[in-house]
């Protein structure tokens, strides 16, 4: 699995990230896993065509010492579809920018 991982989190960092994720995205059925919806403007042409599969998400796995942003774009509506796959360069950059902005806004130094 391709991921953008930020590790060596301090306990305080973990708590701030957890509070931010729960406030903004809610927790999933799996503890420590959150779903971030992709901006519609960065969807691929196929993803835009597949309105029945929208919205699209990336999963975030938060553990006590790291946060991993998965680079697999998924839908909650289907298990498999041609619109799902690894993030494009534009989607990857958007996600990494999101992660970096979250750390900046929370005052976490990496």
| Per-residue pLDDT reduced to its tens digit, 46-80 | 999 999 999 999 999 999 999 999 999 999 888 89
pLDDT the model gives residue 26: 74
Range of the domain at 52: 3-106
Q: What tokens does 35 get?
A: 């779903």
State how far the Cα of 29 lies from the Cα of 90, in Å rounded to an integer: 29
**pLDDT at 84 exceeding the cut of 90:** yes
Q: Which residues lie across from 7 on neighbouring strands?
A: 66
Total of domains in the chain: 1
State how far the Cα of 21 lies from the Cα of 69, in Å rounded to an integer: 12
* CATH number, domain containing residue 44: 3.30.530
pLDDT the model gives residue 73: 96
Q: Which residues lie across from 58 on neighbouring strands?
A: 36
Q: What are phi and psi of 41, to 5 degrees?
A: -70, -15
């Amino acid at each position: 699995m391709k991921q953008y991982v930020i590790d060596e989190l301090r306990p305080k960092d973990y708590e701030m990230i957890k509070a931010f994720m729960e406030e903004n995205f809610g927790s999933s059925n799996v503890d420590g896993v959150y779903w971030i919806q992709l901006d519609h403007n960065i969807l691929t042409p196929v993803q835009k065509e597949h309105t029945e599969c929208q919205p699209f998400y990336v999963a975030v796995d938060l553990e006590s010492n790291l946060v991993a942003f998965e680079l697999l774009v998924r839908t909650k509506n289907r298990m498999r579809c041609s619109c799902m796959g690894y993030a494009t360069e534009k989607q990857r950059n958007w996600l990494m920018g999101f992660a970096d902005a979250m750390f900046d806004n929370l005052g976490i130094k990496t």
